[in-house]
Amino acid sequence: MDIKSIILAAGKGTRMKSNTPKVLHKIMDKTLLGYVLDNVKNIADESFVIVGHHAEEVEKFLGENYKNAKAVLQSPQLGTGDAVSKACPFLKDYKGLVLILCGDTPLITEKTLKEFIEFHKMQKSDLTVMSAIFDNPTNYGRIIREKDDSLKCIVEEKDATPEQKAVKEINAGIYCLDWAKISPAFNQLTSNNAQGEYYLTDIIEWGKKNKLSVNAYTLKNNEEIFGINSRLHLAEATKIMNKRKLVELMENGVTIVDPDSTWISEDTEIGKDTIIYPSTYLEGKNKIGENCKIGPFAHFRGGVEVADNVKIGNFVEVKKSKINSNTNAGHLSYIGDSEIGEHVNIGAGTITANYNPITKVKSKTILHDNVKIGSNAVLVAPVELQEWVNVGAGSVITKNVEKNSLALTRSPLRVIKDWVKNLNN
């Protein structure tokens, strides 16, 4: 069965106190909205992102990064039910399932969403709501079930009786709909409430009135529906995500020497028997091979591919580069926009000068196999060094260098005898 998704991303996010739309705030250099879209990309063949606050910025982000996601404007913002209704014209004759999610819940996983959809199908549901069990459910809408365990209704806290407030099962805000059966609800929602808004939760009552099958699926790990509404929430979500990633890596044969000081993005792959030393920060999308040593105090800025048996040492920053096997960059270096061969040694203090501040162009540095770079060298891109080239310490390389050559730009040493002694006389 076909599946499409609707992602609610129109909110202002007032508590973020930011000029940046809430869903474009980042964890490990990836937007909140990006996490949600990546977790549905293998499930839904098309996504409709409901935009409102700073709509142009969110639409631009989608255009540059997600070709199967379409921005749909909600203006003015009249509630979650109204938001979903904005996608209705694009789904007029659609007969499959629709997954509805929030754009500020980056911790939801693809695995959970697949289990949710499978539950929906097995129950032969027309509408399924995801729920979670909270010891303290204050401020959440409560899931009220029928005697047969199907969903009866969702009661908001302000409307709940004392008995309903004691219920610990809450609405997680994720829905799976049989679109052909449920979509008529969005033309019939009313705004008869204190806020004058159209609530998405009202489709449950509509479904019950129309004798449709309405159920609730209980989430196994309620951390996954943690929503970001403030900078504090952003920091808390980052910690949760990082811990989850570190546990996954360690369970798959990666040594993390100090999990408390190590940060590794969800999109970083690391092979077994690699060691990650303390105070290492790997953001963005990276791939690291087996038997590598990374850190301490190493920083990957994304787009980094490292083969097996590579050492990236302390205070080495790497960005958008490919480093082949048995290569070392031991300390105090910057490697950016580079292709580096096998058995290359990069001396301390080496810099690939990849950015021209006048033209704003970033250029590439290519080092072939067995190149040796002396300490404190600057490689001014675009530049290519062929196999077995040696670069003397302190050199600035501005031209390509042929195979087996020694490249030097060092000025001759001058020694002025008794200079200090004469200076003090």
**Hey, how many other C-beta atoms are within 10 angstroms of the C-beta on 149?**
10
Confidence of residue 176 (pLDDT cuts 50, 70, 90): very high
Residues 300 and 361 in one domain: yes
d(CA 100, CA 7): 6
Residues 36 and 173 in one domain: yes
What integer is the mean pLDDT of 14-26?
A: 95
Cβ contact 37:17 at 8 Å = no
Residues 242 and 163 in one domain: no
Domain ranges, residue 318: 231-407
Among 199, 225, 251, where does a domain finish?
Answer: 225
pLDDT of 119 > 80? The answer is yes
What integer is the mean pLDDT of 384-407?
A: 98
DSSP secondary structure string for all residues of 139-192 = TSPEEEE-TTSSEEEEE-GGG--HHHHT--EEEEEEEEEEHHHHGGGGGT----
Confidence of residue 190 (pLDDT cuts 50, 70, 90): confident
Confidence of residue 135 (pLDDT cuts 50, 70, 90): very high
User: Tokens 């195979």 map to which residue?
Assistant: 403
Residues 237 and 386 in one domain: yes
pLDDT of 157 > 90? The answer is no
* H or E stretch covering 199: none
How many domains does the structure of the chain reveal?
2
The reply to whether 425 falls in a domain is no
The reply to whether 215 falls in a domain is yes
pLDDT of 411 > 90? The answer is no
Q: Is 391 left (phi over 0), alpha (psi -120 to 50) or beta?
A: beta
d(CA 104, CA 225): 9
Q: Please tell me the pTM assigned to this model.
A: 0.93
Among 225, 256, 286, where does a domain finish?
Answer: 225
pLDDT of residue 253: 98
Q: For position 264, which CATH number holds? A: 2.160.10.10
Residues recognised as catalytic: 331
d(CA 41, CA 89): 22
Interacting residues of 130 by C-beta distance below 8 A, sequence separation 6+: 116, 172, 173, 174, 175, 176, 216, 217, 219, 225
